[in-house]
């Protein structure tokens, strides 16, 4: 006969069983939630033909205006003053590079899609604010020294007025492009994003659902890490079969059959 286990031995066996159960217990779904839940970004916004033509024309005009600003500033710097070269050329150079990049994207990308509308909003915002600061600063400096330039360099007055005029044109162009970028960003964000859910298969043909998934919340037992996939119950309609027809047998006793024997002496 086996001896009964001591309390210490029973406790050790119980701890071993608990540790084995924990090893086979599936991991919580929340650790894999980031990998299984992925939200796709909204679809790219495709401009209409009219909007595409408007943006392309504005970019071309901005490039021409930036080239004129750089050319006049270089001409003034060679003659007598480096002020326009320092104040107006940096924003004009950045604007020219940005306009070229956006124009190339508008002409080459499928659907006439330019750079991301969020990037357009940010860059054009910086450009038209930068042009405002540069033009105002240049106007203040030129206004202070207006009498000096008018007395000694009469031709500089025309150049300075042209610089301020083209600077104002750049402000209007990039402000318009900024507004268009805000509109396209709003349209793009209003499109619903697609949420992709990856469901893992567990042991014994079970399906692991996240705790925030509607199907998992509808289950009666929420504390489980996974739920058993329920097979929809099929309803069957029972139709009784017809009983076979039985032939009625007669209960009458048949009449006896008379038998005649040929005995000797009888004819």
DSSP string, 103-164: HHHHHHSGGG--S-HHHHHHHHHHHHHHHHHHHHHHHHHHHHTHHHHHHH-HHHHHHHHHHH
Q: What is the pTM of this model?
A: 0.56
Residue 139 pLDDT: 87
Residue 128 pLDDT: 94
Residue 50 pLDDT: 87
CA distance 1 to 133: 100
Tens of pLDDT along the chain (267 residues) come to 555 556 677 777 777 776 665 555 445 544 444 444 455 665 566 778 888 899 999 999 999 999 999 999 998 888 777 888 899 999 999 999 999 999 999 988 877 788 888 899 999 999 999 999 999 999 888 765 555 555 555 667 788 889 999 999 999 999 999 999 999 888 878 766 555 555 555 555 555 555 555 554 444 444 444 444 454 555 545 455 555 555 555 555 555 555 554 555 544
């Amino acid at each position: 006969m086996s001896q009964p286990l001591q309390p210490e031995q029973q406790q050790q066996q119980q701890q071993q069983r608990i540790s084995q159960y924990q090893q086979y217990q599936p991991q919580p779904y929340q650790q894999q939630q980031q990998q299984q839940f992925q939200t796709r970004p909204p679809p790219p916004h495709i401009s209409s033909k009219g909007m595409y033509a408007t943006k392309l024309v504005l970019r071309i005009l901005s490039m021409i205006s930036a080239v004129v600003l750089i050319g006049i500033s270089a001409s003034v710097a060679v003659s007598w003053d480096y002020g326009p070269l320092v104040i107006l050329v940096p924003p004009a150079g950045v604007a020219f590079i940005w306009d070229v990049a956006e124009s190339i994207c508008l002409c080459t990308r499928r659907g006439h899609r330019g750079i991301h509308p969020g990037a357009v909003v940010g860059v054009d915002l910086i450009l038209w604010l930068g042009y405002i600061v540069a033009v105002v600063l240049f106007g203040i400096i030129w206004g202070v020294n207006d009498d000096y330039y008018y007395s000694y360099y009469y031709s500089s007055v025309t150049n300075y007025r042209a610089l301020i005029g083209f600077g104002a044109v750049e402000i209007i162009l990039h402000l318009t492009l900024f507004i268009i970028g805000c509109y396209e960003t709003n349209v793009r964000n209003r499109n619903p994003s697609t949420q992709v859910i990856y469901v893992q298969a567990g042991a014994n043909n079970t399906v692991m659902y996240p705790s925030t998934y509607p199907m998992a919340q509808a289950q009666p037992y929420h504390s489980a890490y996974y739920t058993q996939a329920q097979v929809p119950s099929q309803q069957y309609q029972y139709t009784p079969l017809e009983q076979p027809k039985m032939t009625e047998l007669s209960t009458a006793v048949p009449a006896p059959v008379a038998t005649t024997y040929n005995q000797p002496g009888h004819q």
